A and B are shown apart, each in its own frame.
Chain A
Amino acid sequence: MSIILFKVILIVLIFLISLGLAAYATYGERKVAAFLQDRIGPDRAGPFGLLQPIADGVKMFLKEEIIPTVSDKFLFILGPSLFMMTALMTSAVIPWGTPVSIGGQNFNLQVADINIGILYVLGVVSLGVYGIMLGGWSSNNKYALLGAIRASSQMISYELAMGMSVVAILLMTDGSLSLNAIVESQGEGKLYGFINVSGMNWNVFYQPIAFIIFLITAFAECNRTPFDLPESESELIGGYHTEYSSMKLGLYLFAEYINMFISSAIIACLFFGGYNFPGIEYLSNHLPQNVMSLITFVVLFGKILFFIFFFMWVRWTIPRFRYDQLMRLGWQVLMPLAIINVLLTGAAITFFGN
Protein backbone atom coordinates (compact mmCIF):
# COMPACT_ATOMS: atom_id res chain seq x y z
CA MET A 1 0.00 0.00 0.00
CA SER A 2 1.57 3.23 -1.07
CA ILE A 3 1.83 6.17 1.29
CA ILE A 4 -0.20 8.38 -1.04
CA LEU A 5 -3.12 5.96 -1.13
CA PHE A 6 -3.05 5.72 2.66
CA LYS A 7 -3.05 9.51 3.04
CA VAL A 8 -5.93 9.87 0.60
CA ILE A 9 -7.97 7.33 2.54
CA LEU A 10 -7.09 9.09 5.81
CA ILE A 11 -8.07 12.50 4.44
CA VAL A 12 -11.41 11.22 3.18
CA LEU A 13 -12.07 9.49 6.50
CA ILE A 14 -11.25 12.62 8.54
CA PHE A 15 -13.42 14.69 6.21
CA LEU A 16 -16.37 12.35 6.65
CA ILE A 17 -15.86 12.14 10.41
CA SER A 18 -15.68 15.94 10.70
CA LEU A 19 -18.91 16.36 8.76
CA GLY A 20 -20.70 13.56 10.57
CA LEU A 21 -19.59 14.79 13.95
CA ALA A 22 -20.58 18.37 13.11
CA ALA A 23 -24.03 17.15 12.07
CA TYR A 24 -24.50 15.21 15.26
CA ALA A 25 -23.06 18.06 17.31
CA THR A 26 -26.09 20.13 16.28
CA TYR A 27 -28.29 17.34 17.62
CA GLY A 28 -26.12 17.10 20.73
CA GLU A 29 -26.34 20.84 21.26
CA ARG A 30 -30.13 20.77 21.22
CA LYS A 31 -30.23 17.78 23.54
CA VAL A 32 -27.78 19.38 25.98
CA ALA A 33 -29.74 22.64 25.88
CA ALA A 34 -32.93 20.73 26.51
CA PHE A 35 -31.36 18.85 29.41
CA LEU A 36 -30.04 22.03 31.01
CA GLN A 37 -33.39 23.76 30.60
CA ASP A 38 -35.40 20.77 31.77
CA ARG A 39 -36.98 20.07 28.37
CA ILE A 40 -36.99 16.97 26.16
CA GLY A 41 -35.40 18.38 23.02
CA PRO A 42 -35.78 16.94 19.51
CA ASP A 43 -37.49 13.53 19.71
CA ARG A 44 -39.76 13.32 16.63
CA ALA A 45 -37.44 12.18 13.83
CA GLY A 46 -36.45 8.58 14.42
CA PRO A 47 -35.69 6.97 17.79
CA PHE A 48 -34.73 9.67 20.35
CA GLY A 49 -34.79 12.16 17.48
CA LEU A 50 -31.56 10.68 16.10
CA LEU A 51 -32.54 11.41 12.51
CA GLN A 52 -33.00 15.11 13.30
CA PRO A 53 -29.64 16.24 11.74
CA ILE A 54 -30.57 14.53 8.47
CA ALA A 55 -33.97 16.20 8.48
CA ASP A 56 -32.27 19.54 9.18
CA GLY A 57 -29.82 18.98 6.35
CA VAL A 58 -32.58 18.16 3.89
CA LYS A 59 -34.47 21.25 5.03
CA MET A 60 -31.38 23.43 4.50
CA PHE A 61 -30.90 22.14 0.98
CA LEU A 62 -34.55 22.54 -0.02
CA LYS A 63 -34.96 26.10 1.28
CA GLU A 64 -35.18 28.88 -1.26
CA GLU A 65 -31.87 30.46 -2.03
CA ILE A 66 -31.89 34.25 -1.85
CA ILE A 67 -28.98 36.42 -2.96
CA PRO A 68 -29.48 40.13 -2.21
CA THR A 69 -29.73 42.03 -5.50
CA VAL A 70 -27.22 44.78 -4.69
CA SER A 71 -24.65 42.47 -3.16
CA ASP A 72 -21.42 41.36 -4.78
CA LYS A 73 -22.53 37.94 -5.94
CA PHE A 74 -19.11 36.34 -6.22
CA LEU A 75 -17.92 37.45 -2.79
CA PHE A 76 -21.31 36.54 -1.33
CA ILE A 77 -20.73 32.92 -2.38
CA LEU A 78 -17.01 32.99 -1.60
CA GLY A 79 -17.60 33.96 2.05
CA PRO A 80 -19.22 30.78 3.38
CA SER A 81 -17.03 28.61 1.13
CA LEU A 82 -13.85 30.11 2.56
CA PHE A 83 -15.17 29.78 6.10
CA MET A 84 -15.93 26.09 5.57
CA MET A 85 -12.59 25.49 3.85
CA THR A 86 -10.51 26.98 6.66
CA ALA A 87 -12.57 25.04 9.21
CA LEU A 88 -11.76 21.76 7.45
CA MET A 89 -8.08 22.52 6.76
CA THR A 90 -6.87 22.51 10.36
CA SER A 91 -7.42 18.79 10.89
CA ALA A 92 -4.43 17.98 8.66
CA VAL A 93 -1.83 18.24 11.43
CA ILE A 94 -3.64 16.46 14.25
CA PRO A 95 -2.16 13.07 15.20
CA TRP A 96 -5.19 10.80 15.57
CA GLY A 97 -3.50 7.79 17.13
CA THR A 98 -0.41 5.60 17.29
CA PRO A 99 0.90 4.38 13.91
CA VAL A 100 -0.94 1.53 12.17
CA SER A 101 0.90 -1.20 10.35
CA ILE A 102 -0.44 -2.41 7.03
CA GLY A 103 1.48 -5.18 5.29
CA GLY A 104 4.49 -4.72 7.57
CA GLN A 105 4.74 -0.99 6.89
CA ASN A 106 4.07 1.67 9.51
CA PHE A 107 1.79 4.57 8.70
CA ASN A 108 1.30 7.58 10.94
CA LEU A 109 -2.33 8.39 11.66
CA GLN A 110 -1.68 11.99 10.71
CA VAL A 111 -2.15 13.63 7.34
CA ALA A 112 0.95 15.84 7.51
CA ASP A 113 3.58 15.70 10.23
CA ILE A 114 5.04 19.08 9.38
CA ASN A 115 7.81 20.75 11.30
CA ILE A 116 5.61 23.79 12.01
CA GLY A 117 2.43 21.98 13.10
CA ILE A 118 1.06 24.37 15.68
CA LEU A 119 1.98 27.45 13.65
CA TYR A 120 0.03 25.95 10.76
CA VAL A 121 -3.00 25.74 13.04
CA LEU A 122 -2.60 29.36 14.11
CA GLY A 123 -2.14 30.41 10.49
CA VAL A 124 -5.30 28.69 9.30
CA VAL A 125 -7.25 30.05 12.26
CA SER A 126 -6.18 33.56 11.33
CA LEU A 127 -7.48 32.98 7.80
CA GLY A 128 -10.93 32.06 9.13
CA VAL A 129 -11.66 35.76 9.51
CA TYR A 130 -11.92 36.25 5.74
CA GLY A 131 -14.96 34.02 5.38
CA ILE A 132 -16.85 36.06 7.95
CA MET A 133 -15.66 39.45 6.73
CA LEU A 134 -16.41 38.81 3.06
CA GLY A 135 -19.80 37.33 3.89
CA GLY A 136 -20.73 40.21 6.15
CA TRP A 137 -19.54 42.90 3.78
CA SER A 138 -20.99 41.51 0.59
CA SER A 139 -24.44 41.14 2.18
CA ASN A 140 -24.77 44.92 1.86
CA ASN A 141 -26.55 45.09 5.20
CA LYS A 142 -25.36 47.17 8.11
CA TYR A 143 -26.19 44.51 10.69
CA ALA A 144 -24.18 41.96 8.74
CA LEU A 145 -21.28 44.42 8.39
CA LEU A 146 -21.35 45.20 12.10
CA GLY A 147 -21.35 41.50 12.91
CA ALA A 148 -18.46 40.88 10.54
CA ILE A 149 -16.41 43.71 12.03
CA ARG A 150 -17.13 42.52 15.54
CA ALA A 151 -16.14 38.98 14.60
CA SER A 152 -12.90 39.94 12.93
CA SER A 153 -11.70 42.36 15.60
CA GLN A 154 -12.54 39.77 18.24
CA MET A 155 -10.69 37.02 16.41
CA ILE A 156 -7.61 39.17 15.79
CA SER A 157 -7.48 40.25 19.45
CA TYR A 158 -7.79 36.77 20.87
CA GLU A 159 -5.33 35.20 18.42
CA LEU A 160 -2.48 36.99 20.18
CA ALA A 161 -3.28 35.59 23.60
CA MET A 162 -3.80 32.18 22.02
CA GLY A 163 -0.37 32.27 20.40
CA MET A 164 1.30 33.39 23.62
CA SER A 165 -0.32 30.62 25.66
CA VAL A 166 0.97 28.06 23.15
CA VAL A 167 4.52 29.42 23.49
CA ALA A 168 4.64 28.19 27.09
CA ILE A 169 3.81 24.67 25.88
CA LEU A 170 6.44 24.87 23.17
CA LEU A 171 9.08 25.84 25.74
CA MET A 172 8.30 22.62 27.59
CA THR A 173 8.60 20.29 24.60
CA ASP A 174 12.15 21.25 23.63
CA GLY A 175 10.96 23.82 21.14
CA SER A 176 9.39 21.39 18.72
CA LEU A 177 6.38 22.84 16.93
CA SER A 178 5.16 19.53 15.54
CA LEU A 179 1.90 18.42 17.15
CA ASN A 180 3.09 14.84 16.93
CA ALA A 181 6.18 15.64 19.01
CA ILE A 182 4.08 17.55 21.54
CA VAL A 183 1.71 14.61 21.96
CA GLU A 184 4.53 12.07 22.17
CA SER A 185 6.37 14.09 24.82
CA GLN A 186 3.27 13.89 27.01
CA GLY A 187 3.33 10.10 26.87
CA GLU A 188 6.88 9.81 28.19
CA GLY A 189 8.40 10.46 31.59
CA LYS A 190 6.88 10.70 35.02
CA LEU A 191 4.36 13.26 36.11
CA TYR A 192 6.13 15.90 38.26
CA GLY A 193 9.13 13.58 38.13
CA PHE A 194 7.80 11.00 40.63
CA ILE A 195 4.24 9.90 39.82
CA ASN A 196 5.02 6.87 37.70
CA VAL A 197 1.94 6.34 35.54
CA SER A 198 2.71 5.84 31.87
CA GLY A 199 1.02 8.15 29.39
CA MET A 200 -0.05 10.59 32.08
CA ASN A 201 2.61 13.29 31.73
CA TRP A 202 0.03 15.80 30.46
CA ASN A 203 0.82 19.44 29.93
CA VAL A 204 -2.28 20.58 31.78
CA PHE A 205 -0.67 19.56 35.07
CA TYR A 206 2.29 21.83 34.39
CA GLN A 207 0.54 24.64 32.55
CA PRO A 208 -2.91 25.19 34.06
CA ILE A 209 -2.80 28.93 33.31
CA ALA A 210 -1.87 28.37 29.68
CA PHE A 211 -4.70 25.84 29.45
CA ILE A 212 -7.31 28.26 30.81
CA ILE A 213 -6.11 31.04 28.50
CA PHE A 214 -6.15 28.70 25.52
CA LEU A 215 -9.62 27.45 26.39
CA ILE A 216 -11.03 30.97 26.67
CA THR A 217 -9.41 32.10 23.44
CA ALA A 218 -10.67 28.96 21.70
CA PHE A 219 -14.20 29.92 22.73
CA ALA A 220 -13.62 33.38 21.30
CA GLU A 221 -12.14 32.06 18.05
CA CYS A 222 -15.13 29.78 17.52
CA ASN A 223 -17.54 32.67 18.20
CA ARG A 224 -19.26 30.63 20.88
CA THR A 225 -21.09 31.98 23.91
CA PRO A 226 -19.98 33.87 26.03
CA PHE A 227 -18.18 35.41 23.04
CA ASP A 228 -20.90 35.14 20.41
CA LEU A 229 -21.22 38.90 19.98
CA PRO A 230 -20.80 38.69 16.19
CA GLU A 231 -24.09 36.83 16.01
CA SER A 232 -25.93 38.24 19.00
CA GLU A 233 -29.43 37.74 17.69
CA SER A 234 -30.97 40.22 20.12
CA GLU A 235 -29.03 43.21 18.74
CA LEU A 236 -27.69 42.23 15.35
CA ILE A 237 -30.40 39.82 14.11
CA GLY A 238 -27.82 37.12 13.52
CA GLY A 239 -24.80 39.23 12.58
CA TYR A 240 -22.70 38.32 9.56
CA HIS A 241 -25.09 35.66 8.28
CA THR A 242 -28.23 37.78 8.46
CA GLU A 243 -28.72 37.81 4.67
CA TYR A 244 -27.81 34.18 4.09
CA SER A 245 -30.36 31.51 3.40
CA SER A 246 -30.48 27.87 2.40
CA MET A 247 -27.26 25.84 2.46
CA LYS A 248 -24.99 28.91 2.51
CA LEU A 249 -26.38 29.68 5.95
CA GLY A 250 -26.00 25.97 6.64
CA LEU A 251 -22.29 26.17 5.76
CA TYR A 252 -21.74 28.98 8.26
CA LEU A 253 -23.57 27.13 11.03
CA PHE A 254 -21.92 23.85 10.12
CA ALA A 255 -18.42 25.31 10.00
CA GLU A 256 -18.91 26.61 13.52
CA TYR A 257 -19.42 23.05 14.74
CA ILE A 258 -16.41 21.82 12.78
CA ASN A 259 -14.36 24.61 14.35
CA MET A 260 -15.55 23.42 17.72
CA PHE A 261 -14.56 19.85 16.91
CA ILE A 262 -11.10 20.87 15.72
CA SER A 263 -10.42 23.19 18.64
CA SER A 264 -11.45 20.42 21.03
CA ALA A 265 -8.99 18.13 19.25
CA ILE A 266 -6.23 20.71 19.57
CA ILE A 267 -6.97 21.32 23.25
CA ALA A 268 -6.80 17.57 23.78
CA CYS A 269 -3.50 17.32 21.88
CA LEU A 270 -1.79 20.29 23.49
CA PHE A 271 -2.87 19.88 27.08
CA PHE A 272 -4.48 16.49 27.66
CA GLY A 273 -1.93 14.18 26.13
CA GLY A 274 -3.67 13.67 22.77
CA TYR A 275 -4.10 9.95 22.31
CA ASN A 276 -2.13 9.09 25.47
CA PHE A 277 -3.95 7.61 28.42
CA PRO A 278 -2.86 6.11 31.77
CA GLY A 279 -1.66 2.58 31.25
CA ILE A 280 -0.87 2.99 27.53
CA GLU A 281 2.53 1.35 28.01
CA TYR A 282 1.11 -1.80 29.61
CA LEU A 283 -1.55 -2.20 26.93
CA SER A 284 0.83 -1.57 24.03
CA ASN A 285 3.09 -4.35 25.33
CA HIS A 286 0.22 -6.82 25.41
CA LEU A 287 -1.96 -5.90 22.43
CA PRO A 288 -1.27 -5.95 18.69
CA GLN A 289 -0.24 -2.64 17.12
CA ASN A 290 -3.39 -2.05 15.08
CA VAL A 291 -5.68 -2.71 18.05
CA MET A 292 -3.61 -0.18 19.95
CA SER A 293 -4.11 2.39 17.17
CA LEU A 294 -7.84 1.88 17.39
CA ILE A 295 -7.84 2.26 21.18
CA THR A 296 -5.74 5.45 21.09
CA PHE A 297 -8.04 6.84 18.39
CA VAL A 298 -11.09 6.11 20.57
CA VAL A 299 -9.37 7.68 23.59
CA LEU A 300 -8.61 10.86 21.66
CA PHE A 301 -12.21 10.93 20.49
CA GLY A 302 -13.45 10.56 24.05
CA LYS A 303 -11.44 13.63 25.02
CA ILE A 304 -12.72 15.55 22.00
CA LEU A 305 -16.34 14.67 22.77
CA PHE A 306 -15.87 15.80 26.35
CA PHE A 307 -14.63 19.20 25.22
CA ILE A 308 -17.44 19.55 22.70
CA PHE A 309 -19.84 18.86 25.54
CA PHE A 310 -17.98 21.45 27.61
CA PHE A 311 -18.46 24.04 24.83
CA MET A 312 -22.20 23.35 24.90
CA TRP A 313 -22.39 23.31 28.66
CA VAL A 314 -20.82 26.78 28.81
CA ARG A 315 -23.07 28.05 26.05
CA TRP A 316 -26.23 27.25 27.97
CA THR A 317 -24.88 28.42 31.33
CA ILE A 318 -23.16 31.77 30.83
CA PRO A 319 -24.69 34.89 29.22
CA ARG A 320 -22.65 36.83 26.68
CA PHE A 321 -20.21 39.63 27.43
CA ARG A 322 -20.63 43.25 26.55
CA TYR A 323 -18.29 44.27 23.75
CA ASP A 324 -16.04 46.53 25.82
CA GLN A 325 -15.77 43.81 28.47
CA LEU A 326 -14.71 41.36 25.78
CA MET A 327 -11.96 43.65 24.50
CA ARG A 328 -10.77 44.44 28.03
CA LEU A 329 -10.62 40.75 28.89
CA GLY A 330 -8.65 39.96 25.75
CA TRP A 331 -6.11 42.76 25.85
CA GLN A 332 -5.78 43.66 29.51
CA VAL A 333 -6.22 40.32 31.26
CA LEU A 334 -5.45 37.36 28.99
CA MET A 335 -2.58 38.93 27.05
CA PRO A 336 -0.47 40.05 30.07
CA LEU A 337 -1.31 36.81 31.87
CA ALA A 338 -0.07 34.78 28.90
CA ILE A 339 3.16 36.79 28.70
CA ILE A 340 3.79 36.41 32.44
CA ASN A 341 3.14 32.69 32.07
CA VAL A 342 5.74 32.44 29.30
CA LEU A 343 8.28 34.33 31.42
CA LEU A 344 7.63 32.13 34.46
CA THR A 345 7.88 28.95 32.39
CA GLY A 346 11.13 30.14 30.84
CA ALA A 347 12.56 31.04 34.24
CA ALA A 348 11.50 27.71 35.75
CA ILE A 349 13.11 25.75 32.92
CA THR A 350 16.31 27.82 33.11
CA PHE A 351 16.76 27.64 36.88
CA PHE A 352 15.25 24.29 37.84
CA GLY A 353 15.90 22.26 34.70
CA ASN A 354 12.96 20.20 33.56
Chain B
Amino acid sequence: MTSEIIFYFLAAVSVITALMVVFSKNPIYSVMWLIACFFSIAGHYVMLNAQFLAIVHIIVYAGAIMVLMLFTVMLLNLNRESEPHKSLLTKGIATVTGGMLFLVLLAAMRSTQLGAYASPEASDAGFVQKVGMVLFTDYLLPFEMTSVLFISAMIGAVVLAKKEKH
Protein backbone atom coordinates (compact mmCIF):
# COMPACT_ATOMS: atom_id res chain seq x y z
CA MET B 1 0.00 0.00 0.00
CA THR B 2 2.77 2.42 0.93
CA SER B 3 4.67 1.57 -2.22
CA GLU B 4 1.58 2.34 -4.28
CA ILE B 5 1.27 5.79 -2.70
CA ILE B 6 4.95 6.48 -3.31
CA PHE B 7 4.62 5.30 -6.89
CA TYR B 8 1.71 7.60 -7.65
CA PHE B 9 3.47 10.48 -5.93
CA LEU B 10 6.65 9.92 -7.97
CA ALA B 11 4.67 9.49 -11.16
CA ALA B 12 2.86 12.77 -10.54
CA VAL B 13 6.15 14.54 -9.81
CA SER B 14 7.72 13.13 -12.98
CA VAL B 15 4.86 14.26 -15.19
CA ILE B 16 4.52 17.71 -13.62
CA THR B 17 8.26 18.46 -13.68
CA ALA B 18 8.50 17.21 -17.29
CA LEU B 19 5.68 19.57 -18.25
CA MET B 20 7.36 22.42 -16.40
CA VAL B 21 10.53 21.84 -18.45
CA VAL B 22 8.55 22.68 -21.57
CA PHE B 23 6.44 25.47 -20.13
CA SER B 24 9.16 27.42 -18.33
CA LYS B 25 10.02 30.64 -20.13
CA ASN B 26 13.50 30.92 -18.64
CA PRO B 27 15.90 28.21 -19.90
CA ILE B 28 17.68 28.04 -16.53
CA TYR B 29 14.40 27.07 -14.90
CA SER B 30 13.85 24.47 -17.62
CA VAL B 31 17.18 22.92 -16.75
CA MET B 32 16.33 22.92 -13.05
CA TRP B 33 12.96 21.28 -13.67
CA LEU B 34 14.63 18.66 -15.83
CA ILE B 35 17.00 17.87 -12.95
CA ALA B 36 14.01 17.48 -10.64
CA CYS B 37 12.44 15.18 -13.24
CA PHE B 38 15.58 13.02 -13.30
CA PHE B 39 15.43 12.72 -9.54
CA SER B 40 11.86 11.46 -9.62
CA ILE B 41 12.83 8.93 -12.30
CA ALA B 42 15.72 7.80 -10.10
CA GLY B 43 13.07 7.37 -7.40
CA HIS B 44 11.22 5.01 -9.72
CA TYR B 45 14.39 2.97 -10.17
CA VAL B 46 14.81 2.70 -6.40
CA MET B 47 11.19 1.54 -6.14
CA LEU B 48 12.05 -1.23 -8.63
CA ASN B 49 15.01 -2.27 -6.43
CA ALA B 50 17.51 -1.05 -9.01
CA GLN B 51 19.69 1.05 -6.74
CA PHE B 52 22.66 0.93 -9.07
CA LEU B 53 20.68 2.22 -12.03
CA ALA B 54 19.20 4.96 -9.85
CA ILE B 55 22.53 6.29 -8.66
CA VAL B 56 24.16 6.00 -12.09
CA HIS B 57 21.20 7.89 -13.50
CA ILE B 58 21.83 10.66 -10.96
CA ILE B 59 25.60 10.74 -11.50
CA VAL B 60 25.46 10.69 -15.29
CA TYR B 61 22.40 12.81 -16.01
CA ALA B 62 22.01 15.15 -13.04
CA GLY B 63 25.70 15.27 -12.16
CA ALA B 64 27.35 15.53 -15.55
CA ILE B 65 25.09 16.12 -18.52
CA MET B 66 22.82 18.69 -16.88
CA VAL B 67 25.83 20.55 -15.52
CA LEU B 68 27.05 20.92 -19.10
CA MET B 69 23.58 22.04 -20.20
CA LEU B 70 23.50 24.63 -17.43
CA PHE B 71 26.98 25.71 -18.49
CA THR B 72 25.86 26.30 -22.04
CA VAL B 73 22.68 28.10 -21.05
CA MET B 74 24.57 30.36 -18.64
CA LEU B 75 27.34 31.22 -21.09
CA LEU B 76 24.97 31.90 -23.97
CA ASN B 77 22.97 34.03 -21.54
CA LEU B 78 19.64 32.99 -23.01
CA ASN B 79 17.04 35.25 -21.51
CA ARG B 80 13.42 35.82 -22.22
CA GLU B 81 14.17 39.24 -23.70
CA SER B 82 17.03 38.13 -25.91
CA GLU B 83 15.09 35.27 -27.45
CA PRO B 84 14.88 35.91 -31.23
CA HIS B 85 11.47 36.21 -32.80
CA LYS B 86 10.58 33.16 -34.84
CA SER B 87 9.06 33.50 -38.29
CA LEU B 88 5.66 32.08 -39.15
CA LEU B 89 7.28 29.45 -41.40
CA THR B 90 9.41 28.09 -38.53
CA LYS B 91 6.41 27.98 -36.25
CA GLY B 92 4.38 26.12 -38.88
CA ILE B 93 7.08 23.54 -39.48
CA ALA B 94 7.54 23.06 -35.72
CA THR B 95 3.80 22.48 -35.29
CA VAL B 96 3.70 19.89 -38.08
CA THR B 97 6.75 17.96 -36.84
CA GLY B 98 5.54 18.09 -33.25
CA GLY B 99 2.11 16.87 -34.31
CA MET B 100 3.64 13.98 -36.23
CA LEU B 101 5.71 12.91 -33.25
CA PHE B 102 2.57 13.11 -31.15
CA LEU B 103 0.75 10.84 -33.60
CA VAL B 104 3.55 8.27 -33.51
CA LEU B 105 3.57 8.29 -29.71
CA LEU B 106 -0.20 8.00 -29.61
CA ALA B 107 -0.12 5.02 -31.98
CA ALA B 108 2.50 3.35 -29.81
CA MET B 109 0.54 4.05 -26.64
CA ARG B 110 -2.71 2.68 -28.06
CA SER B 111 -1.32 -0.83 -28.26
CA THR B 112 -0.01 -0.89 -24.66
CA GLN B 113 -2.24 -2.54 -22.15
CA LEU B 114 -2.85 -0.59 -19.00
CA GLY B 115 -2.73 -2.91 -16.04
CA ALA B 116 -3.29 -2.20 -12.38
CA TYR B 117 -0.34 -1.17 -10.26
CA ALA B 118 1.60 -4.18 -9.00
CA SER B 119 4.29 -3.61 -6.40
CA PRO B 120 7.63 -4.96 -7.64
CA GLU B 121 8.98 -8.15 -6.18
CA ALA B 122 11.90 -7.93 -3.81
CA SER B 123 14.92 -9.02 -5.78
CA ASP B 124 18.57 -8.09 -6.04
CA ALA B 125 18.57 -8.03 -9.84
CA GLY B 126 19.33 -4.32 -9.89
CA PHE B 127 22.29 -4.48 -7.53
CA VAL B 128 25.81 -3.72 -8.70
CA GLN B 129 27.07 -7.30 -8.58
CA LYS B 130 24.18 -8.69 -10.63
CA VAL B 131 24.24 -5.89 -13.20
CA GLY B 132 28.01 -6.22 -13.58
CA MET B 133 27.76 -10.00 -13.95
CA VAL B 134 25.14 -9.76 -16.70
CA LEU B 135 26.93 -6.89 -18.42
CA PHE B 136 30.24 -8.71 -18.64
CA THR B 137 28.92 -12.15 -19.59
CA ASP B 138 25.68 -12.12 -21.60
CA TYR B 139 26.01 -8.62 -23.00
CA LEU B 140 29.77 -8.32 -23.32
CA LEU B 141 29.83 -7.60 -27.06
CA PRO B 142 27.20 -4.81 -27.05
CA PHE B 143 28.87 -3.35 -23.97
CA GLU B 144 32.30 -3.21 -25.60
CA MET B 145 30.81 -1.91 -28.83
CA THR B 146 29.19 0.93 -26.90
CA SER B 147 32.50 1.87 -25.31
CA VAL B 148 34.18 1.89 -28.75
CA LEU B 149 31.38 4.15 -29.96
CA PHE B 150 31.94 6.50 -27.02
CA ILE B 151 35.68 6.62 -27.58
CA SER B 152 35.23 7.47 -31.23
CA ALA B 153 32.78 10.22 -30.28
CA MET B 154 35.27 11.60 -27.76
CA ILE B 155 38.14 11.55 -30.25
CA GLY B 156 35.89 13.25 -32.78
CA ALA B 157 35.09 16.00 -30.27
CA VAL B 158 38.79 16.48 -29.50
CA VAL B 159 39.65 16.71 -33.20
CA LEU B 160 36.90 19.26 -33.77
CA ALA B 161 37.89 21.34 -30.77
CA LYS B 162 41.60 21.37 -31.59
CA LYS B 163 43.03 24.52 -33.10
CA GLU B 164 44.01 24.28 -36.72
CA LYS B 165 47.68 24.72 -37.44
CA HIS B 166 48.49 27.61 -39.68
Using a CB–CB cutoff of 8 Å, the interface residues on chain A facing chain B are 72, 75, 114-116, 119-120, 122-123, 126-127, 129-130, 133-134, 137, 145, 148-149, 152-153, 156, 159, 175, 177
Contact = CB atoms under 8 A, between A and B. Distances in A.
A134 B63 CA distance: 14
B67 A129 contact: yes
Contact of A133 (B51, B59, B62, B74): B74
B127 A123 contact: no
B28 A130 contact: no
Interface in B65-95: 67, 70-71, 74-75
Given A133-B67, A145-B74, A123 B128 contact: no
A320 B129 CA distance: 41
Given A145-B74, A156-B67, A175-B129, A116 B52 contact: yes
B64 interface: yes
Interface of B: 26, 28, 32, 35, 51-52, 55-56, 58-59, 62-64, 67, 70-71, 74-75, 127-129, 132
24 contacts: A72-B26, A72-B28, A75-B28, A75-B32, A115-B128, A119-B55, A119-B59, A120-B55, A123-B58, A123-B59, A126-B62, A130-B70, A133-B71, A137-B74, A145-B74, A149-B71, A149-B74, A149-B75, A152-B67, A152-B71, A156-B64, A156-B67, A175-B128, A175-B129
Given A115-B127, A126-B64, 16 more contacts: A75-B28, A119-B55, A123-B58, A123-B59, A126-B63, A127-B58, A127-B62, A129-B63, A130-B70, A133-B74, A137-B28, A137-B74, A148-B74, A149-B74, A152-B67, A152-B71
A137 B56 CA distance: 27
Nearest to B52: A116
Contacts of A175: 128-129, 132
A130 B74 CA distance: 12
Contacts of A159: 63
A330 to B, nearest CB: 15
A144 to B, nearest CB: 11
Contacts of B64: 126, 156
Contacts of B51: 114-116
